[in-house]
Amino acid sequence: MVDPTERELAAMRAAAPLAGEYVESLGKSDLTLFTVEEFLTLIQVIVGAYQSAKTGFDVTDTWDDVPF
């Protein structure tokens, strides 16, 4: 993502703890040791949490980050 907005950065920060919880639940942090399924699940956790946070922000839109 090039030049993320504050809203996008906030959504990333909201997704990070859930990604950490998932990785911690696996008991390994070296991505090279992840199975394909574990890695795909990590992506799903991150993207799902990001989208959920961003949707929540959009519903309660008080952001002024429209670049035009």
Residue-wise pLDDT for 12-60, tens only, equals 999 999 999 999 999 999 999 999 999 999 999 999 999 999 888 777 7
Does residue 62 surpass a pLDDT of 70? no
Look up the domain containing 39 and give its range. Answer: 6-58
Q: What is the pLDDT of residue 5?
A: 86
pTM (whole model) above 0.85: no
In a domain, 46, yes or no: yes
Total structural domains within the chain: 1
Q: What is the pLDDT of residue 24?
A: 97
In a domain, 65, yes or no: no
If DSSP states are collapsed to H, E and C, what string results for the chain?
A: CCCCCHHHHHHHHHHHHHHHHHHHHHCCCCHHHCCHHHHHHHHHHHHHHHHHHHHHHHHCCCCCCCCC
In a domain, 13, yes or no: yes
In a domain, 35, yes or no: yes
Report the sign of the C-alpha dihedral through residues 6, 54, 56, 59, in that order. positive
Q: What is the pLDDT of residue 57?
A: 79
